[in-house]
Structure 1
Amino acid sequence: MSTAVIGSGLDPTVQIRGFGFRGRQFPVGKAARTLPAPAYSASSSPSVVTAVATPEVKRSKVELFKEKSNFLRYPLNEELVSEAPNINEPATQLIKFHGSYQQTNRDERGTKSYTFMLRTKNPCGKVPNELYLAMDDLADEFGIGTLRLTTRQTFQLHGILKKNLKTVMSTIIRNMGSTLGACGDLNRNVLAPAAPYTKKEYVFAQETAENIASLLTPQSGAYYDLWVDGEKIMSAEPPEVVQARNDNSHGTNFPDSPEPIYGTQFLPRKFKIAVTVPTDNSVDILTNDIGVVVVSDSEGEPQGFNIYVGGGMGRTHRVETTFPRLGEPLGYVPKDDILYAVKAILVTQRENGRRDDRKYSRMKYLISEWGIDKFRSVVEQYYGKKFEAFQELPEWEFKSYLGWHEQGTGTMFCGLHVDSGRIGGKMKKTLREIIEKYKLSVRITPNQNIILCDIRRSWKRPITTVLAQAGLLQPKYVDPLNITAMACPALPLCPLAITEAERGIPDILKRVRAVFDKEELFQVGLKYKESVVIRITGCPNGCARPYMAELGLVGDGPNSYQIWLGGVPNQTTLASCFMNKVKIQDLEKVLEPLFYNWRRKRVQGESFGQFTNRLGFDKLHEFVEKWDGMVDAPSRYNLRLFSDRHTYEAMDELARLQNKTAHQLAIEVVRNYVAAHQNGKAD
């Protein structure tokens, strides 16, 4: 295990493993936490970190890499200065903690060309003016010429060569940015609504998100040792953050360790947190390991937080014991306790999450195994208090923050839709000019869009004109299908991708729109303003959160997708797998009958996801299986079986009594009529 204590947190004694204690027995609780920690050297040698246990617990190789790394330094420090264009396997795992993934271009054949993807850490999606300009420059000078906005409110730079990594990293750090903890087995970027409102609730939610991010940032200094030669370029932390990190009243910390919260092993797997205000589900709150919701009094003054736990999207194809999961209510805490409560939850996962098989290492599996009551009980031991009852919340809404909005200080902000978050070409040049000219700060949304902040009213007209010329349109001019769609990068650079996502989604959205637009008799005929939340990923890891979509496409083979149905527009319902291995060329065979029947059989105001949940998959499969090419039949055979809608509706009702489609019944009637007359003529 990763820490000084192993087990459920409830057993009277446990084995101490992985920290040089050599298998001695110690009681669980504060006493176990007050033991002197092993001494660690600041050198690169891994020999100071040992893992001697009797008997040894099975652990994944990543756990061994972390343990021997001297807090994320070795052997990454040696690999970075080697002549090779790539780094070895242990270093590949460790560099993730520093915010980078090693990649190759999978479109190319022959010798692998290694590059690195960098991901920034931007709590709340906040990007200072100087950081945006620096990222824009780095993309051109060292990357592939584009910036990518992610679903966790960060930037990604692709195509960085190993020899340029230090230059790029140090430039980001010196321009008020960071990549520390953007990847790896620790807390990732903390989400919060990106809207730069001055409303009290929003400001408080964003400050809380920043404090949580600061609390859970690695402390050993390895990041600065590797990328800026040990220079600490950090802003001052709020005293409440320092106090919460150092507090060991309930046995959460490793005393005297360079990593008081994480220890040598960090977490079993990645950890995701989001903070928001009631009704605002721009952050997909239920998909996070921890979801934090501000609770205010009748005057709008924040009083505390509701906490959800156990969300997560990743899964493995055809392994039913892996699954996406929604967060569930844990309880309520007063506002001054939030850092201690979050720390207690994270430590519970640190102590008890599985480290033998990474497929099952996310906290959602721990909660699914234990149940929420046992999980709450263990967390309360580290928190030192009982959680209060979860407070009632209003319905959630998805908020995109696209278009122009009042910021609240006499200024405005403008949310811009960016397809799949990819900023390049004329769009990139225009955004650079506007952000530089008006000295704007920027925010990235969890839907891969960008918000320009602090805009004076007098700037609105010239900015709108320039944006439109670059194709950055007001939301009313963007196809509603595109507004809510998301895709992960997938091919060609992601090593996990099975099929296309970002490169494939433009054509898929056009094909869905074409199905919607079929207006002739028998055909779908959905209105332009009607939309469906579509999300596409190239593998089952779920980076674009497809399991919350009304229509999720998850790559499960070359040019092949699983189809997931049942999410809803406000992202509060989990989708389920409807079909496996649907070839990209066959999508219409599934989507046409589904959308056709949605239009015909929905109740008033019913979204596509709500419709699929109400009817159930048995009925939906029946629609698909009985679909006989109705939409294609008129063009294929030039048949017009009905002259008016009234006749068609009457035939449709009669057909349903016979478990047929109107088209099938009409064909039978015509055939019988023709056959009868032919026979009569022959007689």
Structure 2
Amino acid sequence: MHATHTPLRGSIGLTSPEALQACPVGAGRPRISAQVSCVATPTRPPTSNTAKRSKVEFAKENSDFLRHPLMEQLVTEATNINEEAAQLMKFHGSYQQDNREKRVAGKGKFYQFMMRTKQPAGLVSNQLYLTMDDLANQFGNGTLRLTTRQTFQLHGVLKQDLKTVFSSVIKAMGSTLGACGDVNRNVCAPAAPYRDRPDYVHANELSNQLADLLAPQSGAYYDVWLDGEKFVSMGMEDPKVTEARDFNAFGTNFDNSPEPIYGSHFLPRKFKIAVTVPGDNSVDLFTNDLGIVVMCDDSGEVKGYNLVVGGGMGRAHRNESTFARLADPIGYVDKDDIFHVVKAIVATQRDYGRRDDRKHSRLKYLVHEWGLDKFRAVVEQYFGKKLQAFRPLPAWEFKDYLGWSEQGDGKLAYGVFVQSGRLQGEVKKALRTLIERYELPICISANQNLILQDIEPSWKADILDTLNKAQIKDVVDVDVIARLSIACPALPLCGLAIGEAERAMPDITVRLRTLMTHLGFDESEGPVVRITGCPNGCARPYMAEIALVGDGANSYQLWLGGSPAQTRLASVFLDRMKIQNLEKTLEPLFFLYKQQRRPAEAFGDFCTRVGFLALRTYSAGYVPQKGHAELPTVNLESELFEKLQARAQLEGKSLAHLASEAVRQYVI
């Protein structure tokens, strides 16, 4: 944050963190003087040193709250919309893309659009699922994609069909509003189907309430896609949400604005929230701008919430000023304060997040630059009182909810593995058949899988038979490496992709399993593997035990050392690795891991404990296992051979590895 950056709000200034001592803060919400100075108030008048803003900031400000020039661009004869309209289009839930593999020489880019839905907690009604399936066949590329934030993506929509597609989603009680753009994105929650767990039920409810609280309010969405037609949703907003949105005793809102929380500039960048329960990290909690943990008493009654802030995955290759970051614990609030504290955190990012450089505009950079204490102090001013101390939590665990489970209400749920989240072909047809036949709702998981819900036990046999005929494997037959994997869409559609991800993942998981089997690992063992086509981190690669981050054609950065529970960042092991060198690179690491791991130690934990220096040193002298039989033989005395064998076992090396090292030291 530059010292000259001025907040965009104009009603009430903020005191500096040091001045908090003079501000009476108690259990109630104190009055704050309009005469106090802002944290980022420059020492000179703003007119003498005006803060810079990116082009996107001006596009937002001049758009009449996301209407223009998008409305004009959508009705032109061109197959695309201009750059300014494309930026606004994101707020409505769509990215303009270019299918690089369908370009025709001399005709320029092949424009099409990706539409993303907004599904708080990943919950999808039967009606909406069937609508999305129809739209994929009629107006998309025939596939549906389940994202890492529990939403649908529909690829291949042409400009001329956008209005039909968007209006169809809205009329099926769905939404795409805020699925992209500089606003709160889809709010995640565990895909747990438990109806008898109050904590999980509340996590789902809260995710929907927060989505309502932070949804854009101006009505532009309906002006663009329904020509201003009034559309009444089946779900009414909780009056507590409406009351909390309107509350403005501490400067969180813009008075008399169509966008009371966002104003005409919206947020500096996207804002991500995840809600979960203690111990369940199926949502990658620490990768979010704001993570919320539902805290219940022994009877299951919600008492309050733990909060973590400042997570985010996006970065740029070889730009050290950009980085992935884990969220930090910031405090705890009582149940009735959750909407107000969320608004306070959003307002802090809105007013003090950088707007001059979009690479540094996420909340994580503000927390990193200010430090947690200063960030908390400013949040508390918008909140009107102190945050309480963060409450103790149990160890985190990743859960994928695949296979059969009981909902607790007499019905069943079945989690279907969908590699990289792509629904297509016979798999898509079979799922459509079951979801339509039994009128099933579904839930999309943050690991790109699909959970069929509300299944009567008597339907189980037919469901399994239908899935088996479509070659959909039961979870017990899915390789654990594939089961834990995530990949982003990447090429050919994503404009940021510089390498393959989704299309490369199936082959890479097979190659890793083949390598591990060759080295003697059990089929139940396998690391968390994630692949992205660029460093922006949509598949959260920097949390994986092994991550391949696209860096060119068939070239990847190799990251190692994340944890299976997604609680530790990985680090760069190799800056560039050609994909054909995957086995050559990982074989020595897997071999050492097998020889020296501790009981139940995961691969990522092992890499972190041993350290990269030791891993690189070991790799430098490693002799591949399949080449041992072809190596020349050397005769040794029996006693010397036995000592060499014992030393090799002690150091976790093969005889060929240790012997080569010893001879190399002597002759070189």
TM value normalised by structure 1: 0.89
Counterpart in 1 of 2:96? 102
Distance 1:278 1:648, change over 3 A: farther
- Once the two structures are superposed, residues 71-129 of structure 1 have per-residue CA deviations (whole angstroms, 9 ceiling, x without a partner) of 00010000000000000010010000000000011224432110000000000001000
Check the 8 A contact 1:201/1:296 in 2, yes or no.
yes
Give the drift of 1:632. Answer: 3.0
Give the drift of 1:297. Answer: 1.1
Distance 1:371 1:654, change over 3 A: same
- Once the two structures are superposed, residues 39-79 of structure 1 have per-residue CA deviations (whole angstroms, 9 ceiling, x without a partner) of xxxxxxxxxxxxx9665321000001101111000100000
Check the 8 A contact 2:296/2:302 in 1, yes or no.
yes
Letter in 1 for 2:200: Y
Asked if 1:4 corresponds to 2:9, the answer is yes
Give the drift of 1:531. Answer: 1.0
Distance 1:667 1:55, change over 3 A: closer
CA distance in 1, matches of 2:280, 2:378: 30
Counterpart in 2 of 1:318? 318
Counterpart in 2 of 1:651? 644
Letter in 1 for 2:319: V
Asked if 1:478 corresponds to 2:478, the answer is yes
Q: 2:656 aligns with which of 646, 663, 669?
A: 663
Q: Which moved more, 1:296-305 or 1:102-111?
A: 102-111
Distance 1:601 1:652, change over 3 A: farther
Check the 8 A contact 2:500/2:550 in 1, yes or no.
yes
Give the drift of 1:659. Answer: 11
Q: Which moved more, 1:103-112 or 1:455-464?
A: 103-112
- Once the two structures are superposed, residues 138-180 of structure 1 have per-residue CA deviations (whole angstroms, 9 ceiling, x without a partner) of 0000000000000000000000000000000000000011000
CA distance in 2, matches of 1:236, 1:667: 72
Asked if 1:570 corresponds to 2:565, the answer is yes
Q: Which moved more, 1:163-172 or 1:293-302?
A: 293-302
CA distance in 2, matches of 1:228, 1:500: 37
Count of residue pairs brought into register by the alignment: 631
CA distance in 1, matches of 2:507, 2:222: 43
Counterpart in 1 of 2:23? none
Check the 8 A contact 2:278/2:295 in 1, yes or no.
yes
CA distance in 1, matches of 2:555, 2:540: 18
Q: 2:593 aligns with which of 575, 594, 598?
A: 598
Distance 1:666 1:95, change over 3 A: same
Check the 8 A contact 2:12/2:251 in 1, yes or no.
no
CA distance in 1, matches of 2:58, 2:530: 36
Q: 1:70 aligns with which of 64, 69, 72?
A: 64
Give the drift of 1:517. Answer: 1.1
Asked if 1:128 corresponds to 2:125, the answer is yes
Give the drift of 1:9. Answer: 3.5
Counterpart in 1 of 2:610? 615
Asked if 1:624 corresponds to 2:619, the answer is yes
Give the drift of 1:3. Answer: 2.6
Distance 1:530 1:259, change over 3 A: same
Letter in 2 for 1:10: T
CA distance in 1, matches of 2:642, 2:75: 73
Counterpart in 2 of 1:229? 227
Query: Superposed, which structure 2 residues align to 1:471-550 within 5 Å?
Result: 471-518=471-518, 524-550=519-545
Give the match's secondary structure for 1:300: coil
Give the drift of 1:232. Answer: 3.3
Give the match's secondary structure for 2:551: strand
| RMSD over equivalenced CA pairs, Å | 2.5
Letter in 2 for 1:295: M
Letter in 1 for 2:300: G
Counterpart in 1 of 2:115? 118
Check the 8 A contact 1:634/1:640 in 2, yes or no.
no
TM value normalised by structure 2: 0.91
Counterpart in 2 of 1:207? 205
Q: 1:88 aligns with which of 82, 86, 91?
A: 82
Counterpart in 1 of 2:152? 155
Check the 8 A contact 1:648/1:662 in 2, yes or no.
no
Structure 1 unaligned runs (5+)? 13-27, 34-51, 519-523, 676-683
CA distance in 2, matches of 1:208, 1:53: 43
- Once the two structures are superposed, residues 465-506 of structure 1 have per-residue CA deviations (whole angstroms, 9 ceiling, x without a partner) of 111221222211100111100000000000000100001111
Structure 2 unaligned runs (5+)? 1-5, 18-30, 37-45
CA distance in 2, matches of 1:271, 1:668: 52
CA distance in 1, matches of 2:285, 2:237: 26
Check the 8 A contact 2:595/2:652 in 1, yes or no.
no
CA distance in 2, matches of 1:291, 1:11: 25
Distance 1:539 1:388, change over 3 A: same
Give the match's secondary structure for 2:95: strand
Check the 8 A contact 1:2/1:263 in 2, yes or no.
no
Give the match's secondary structure for 1:552: strand
- Once the two structures are superposed, residues 238-274 of structure 1 have per-residue CA deviations (whole angstroms, 9 ceiling, x without a partner) of 0000001000011110011000000000000000000
Asked if 1:288 corresponds to 2:288, the answer is yes
Check the 8 A contact 1:151/1:447 in 2, yes or no.
yes
CA distance in 1, matches of 2:162, 2:611: 51
CA distance in 1, matches of 2:321, 2:596: 35
Give the match's secondary structure for 2:331: strand
Counterpart in 2 of 1:586? 581
Distance 1:661 1:65, change over 3 A: same
Distance 1:670 1:297, change over 3 A: closer
Give the drift of 1:380. Answer: 0.4
CA distance in 2, matches of 1:276, 1:455: 24
Distance 1:634 1:347, change over 3 A: same
Give the drift of 1:623. Answer: 2.1
Letter in 2 for 1:532: P
Give the drift of 1:652. Answer: 4.6
Q: Which moved more, 1:366-375 or 1:195-204?
A: 195-204
Give the drift of 1:230. Answer: 1.1
Give the drift of 1:638. Answer: 6.8
Counterpart in 1 of 2:3? none
CA distance in 2, matches of 1:650, 1:167: 76
Give the match's secondary structure for 1:308: strand
Query: Superposed, which structure 2 residues align to 1:5-20 within 5 Å?
Result: 5=10, 9-10=14-15
Distance 1:289 1:655, change over 3 A: same
Check the 8 A contact 2:271/2:289 in 1, yes or no.
yes
Give the drift of 1:653. Answer: 4.0
Check the 8 A contact 1:633/1:639 in 2, yes or no.
no
Give the drift of 1:31. Answer: 3.7
Check the 8 A contact 2:13/2:34 in 1, yes or no.
no
CA distance in 2, matches of 1:343, 1:665: 60
CA distance in 2, matches of 1:61, 1:305: 38
Give the match's secondary structure for 2:101: coil
Check the 8 A contact 1:548/1:575 in 2, yes or no.
yes
Give the match's secondary structure for 1:557: coil
CA distance in 2, matches of 1:341, 1:252: 10
CA distance in 1, matches of 2:635, 2:364: 54
Asked if 1:169 corresponds to 2:166, the answer is yes
Give the match's secondary structure for 1:517: helix
Counterpart in 2 of 1:241? 241
- Identical counterparts, % of pairs: 57
Q: 2:140 aligns with which of 140, 143, 146?
A: 143
